[in-house]
Amino acid sequence: MVHHVLARQIPTNITHLRFTARDAQGNVFYATPALAKQTDITLSPVPVQATELLIEYLAGSNLLGIFVAPLSLQPGQTFVVDDPAFLDVTAAITALDLTPLTPQIAKGTSQQFMAVATLSDASMVNLNGQVSWNSSDPTVADISNLGRATGLMAGTSDITAAIGSFSATTTLTVTNAALTKVVVSPPTATVAAGTAQQYTALGLFSDGTTQDLTATAAWNATGMATINATGLATGSTAGGAQVTATFNGMTSDPAVLTVSNATILALQVSPNNIQLNPGAMQAFTVLASLSDGNTQNMTGSAAWTSTGTIAANLFTADATGDFTVTATVGSLSQTVPVKVTQPTGSGPLLFTGHNASMFRLLAFSIDPQTGVLAPFTNGYPQDSTAFTDAGTQFQFVKNPAGRYALLLNRRTSANNTVGSWFTVAGDGTSVNNLIFTIIGAVTGPARFSSDGRLLAVAAQTSVIAMTARDING
């Protein structure tokens, strides 16, 4: 039995809550319809196999908030979920998109999909765990409750994600391409005893394609190391070890891991003493200086903490101020400062790519009293401007004083809009001319707050960063 206690104030327009108990693979063991909001709600009987509880906060049929609470159930026990957090979605869903678009995999391999909802305020949120997933031809491919599809036989199947009245569909192609080789990287590595090395497995197929098999291969380590299911090997004592990955009966050549008696003398976190704009994200790395004179990358095995917001080694500048980021390995740690400040007359822009090649970028002023958006009277860029490379520029002129908003509509072709993105920037400084420049692209899962700030990055979403400057200064 699970007892849900809500002591904290949540938005008054929340009318119902919906609960789903599942395991880490997304298998559902218990689910409720939408229940009227109450301070105390008891769920029974919840099977002990469930390891997490998805809580959806609804205004009527509109999803306004989500939270996933870990469960640890014993027979006959009452497990209390006390005052769960509220991931504020704040706006109704207006569109749902799927990535990647039209992927191709070999039979017996898998593809992770991501469902991204565009909300009525043009922000976006990853709803992989909240949507329902379906494969139109389960003999070709099946799909888990968390959006991972597995190819079963050659053919095509439409993969659909749905929530409420919204759905998105893309076509998955499964081929008969044969696995010809499994390659483990890095081929050689050295770690100190007690530290770890992350390995990856790549599958080479007969049609010339490659697929990342790291998450689905069976990992094995012999000698002075152990390895977990995701390819993270840990050296136990000084000596040698060999690491292999096996997929569909094919085993890679062994990668050689040397485990030394070296001890860690010091840690160095990079970058150090950086300055970020609100909404920006920064990945940190940590190198260990060893007693044998070598260095070792400890980024994946270090414990990361921050006075701000950090997930693993990824810091999110979701508020202005002075923060710290700390990496800890064993008894050693190093802390670096991070300053988050508003830029003058501009703001960082981040948007999901969805393989977009065309877009429309519009600017709005924000009324300081009402918060209402009003289009600029001039200074609009051209509609459907094509872009391919970093360095493409767009210019706004006669920008009024105050804060402003930017809305980006993304397209893969002239008639195929794949989503929108929204941000708020500006600090009250009057600027006459602004130039925005695409500065690069990264990959990862993406989650947005209600005001357009990127909160986290998730697999298989393209993110393009832009910066703005006043051309008069």
Same domain flag for 385 and 355:
yes
Question: 104 and 151 in one domain?
Answer: yes
pLDDT at 467 over 80: no
Residue 29 shares a structural domain with residue 6: yes
Average pLDDT of every residue of the chain: 70
Task: Measure the CA–CA gap between 426 and 410, rounded to whole angstroms.
Answer: 23
Q: Which residues of 218-228 are buried (b: 16+ CB within 10 A; e: fewer)?
A: ebebebbbebe
Point out which residues pair with 451 in neighbouring strands. Answer: none
Residue 254, domain CATH:
2.60.40.10
Last residue of a domain, one of 175, 203, 219: 175
Total number of residues shown for the chain: 473
Q: Are residues 81 and 99 in the same domain?
A: no
Tell me the three state secondary structure of residue 251.
strand
Which residues are bridge partners to 428 per DSSP?
A: none
State the pTM of this model.
Answer: 0.52
Q: Are 353 and 459 within one domain?
A: yes
- Asked whether residue 7 falls in the same domain as residue 37, the answer is yes
Work out the angle at residue 237's Cα, subtended by the Cα atoms of residues 235 and 238, and round it to the nearest 5 degrees: 100
* Residue 390 and residue 462 in one domain: yes
Same domain for 463 and 358: yes
Which CATH number fits the domain that encloses residue 336? Answer: 2.60.40
Are residue 228 and residue 295 in the same domain, yes or no? no
- Percent of the chain with pLDDT strictly greater than 70: 58
pLDDT-wise least confident of 25-39, 184-198, 359-373: 359-373
Q: How confident is the model at residue 378 (pLDDT cuts 50, 70, 90)?
A: very low
Examine the domain organization and report whether 195 and 126 are in the same domain.
no
Q: Check residue 256 and give its pLDDT.
A: 96
SS3 assignment, position 345:
coil
For position 334, what pLDDT does the model report?
95
Q: What angle is formed at CA 340 by the lines to CA 334 and CA 342, rounded to 5 degrees?
A: 170
Residue at which a domain ends, from 41, 56, 88: 88
Q: Tokens 């659909």, residue?
A: 160
Domain count, the chain: 5
Instruction: Choose one of 109, 144, 175: the last residue of a domain.
Output: 175
116-130, 306-320, 338-352: which range is least confident on average? 338-352
> C-alpha distances in angstroms, 351 versus 130, 375, 380, 426?
22, 20, 19, 18
168-171: long-range contacts, CB 8 A cutoff, minimum separation 24: 168/96, 168/97, 168/98, 168/115, 169/98, 170/98, 170/100, 170/101, 170/102, 170/103, 170/113, 171/102
Q: Is residue 268 domain-shared with residue 360, that is, in the same domain?
A: no
Same domain membership, residue 218 and residue 190: yes
Q: Which domain holds residue 214?
A: 179-260
CA distance 256 to 241: 6
